[in-house]
Amino acid sequence: MSPILKIFVLPASFIFICAGILTILGGHITPGGGFQGGAMISAGIILCLLVFGLEDSPIELSEDFISAIESIGALGYVILGLIGLYFGGSFLYNVGTDFYSIVPNYIVNIFHYPDVTNAGIVPYFNILVGLKVFVGLTAIVIAFMAFRSLSDEKEEEK
């Protein structure tokens, strides 16, 4: 790739990543949310991977990091779902919006915001979904790029 493209890509990737984080954090009051924000973060990282290559990319994601983030996203989603099941009566119930008489005060204080944009546990779901989507899309591209580099090495050996 050309040096001009390499100079442009890294700042553009950080802008994509910051916009994705903003989309995830504001997803409960604006259009967007976890899926869209996770895809935007992944797009920034994938752009760096495509321009710089898998080995020379300034943004490096190890397999352990990807596995840990994906596990945190999945486990957190299940835990928040079980919180809704325990306090609201159904899996993924939005605790903190209307069950003040049933839910203990320490749970209400964690999930309740004292303004009109109160979304209960929805912002936390957006964060966890964003993590899962970011890791899933990025891992797919990394796997394809690694497979391609392995196939290119085998062709060179022949």
* pLDDT attached to residue 108: 61
pLDDT for position 142: 92
In this prediction, residues 90-118 reach a mean pLDDT of: 65
Average pLDDT over the chain, rounded to an integer: 84
35 CB-near residues (< 8 Å, 6+ apart): 129, 130, 133
Q: Which two tokens stand for residue 101?
A: 């008489």
**What tokens were used for 153?**
């090495």
pLDDT at position 123 is 86
Q: Distance between CA 65 and CA 59 in Å, rounded?
A: 12
Residue 109 CA from chain centroid, whole number:
25
**Among 69, 57, 43, 68, residue whose Cα is nearest residue 137:** 43
Sequence ranges of the domains in the chain: 3-157
Tell me the CA distances in angstroms from 32 to 79, 81, 84, 113, one per residue in order.
23, 21, 22, 20
Query: What percentage of the chain reaches a pLDDT higher than 90?
Result: 46
Residue predicted with more confidence, 149 or 70: 70
Q: Is the pLDDT of residue 103 over 80?
A: no
Please tell me the distance from the alpha carbon of residue 59 to that of residue 41, in angstroms, as a whole number: 12
Q: Contact 41/134 with Cβ under 8 angstroms?
A: yes
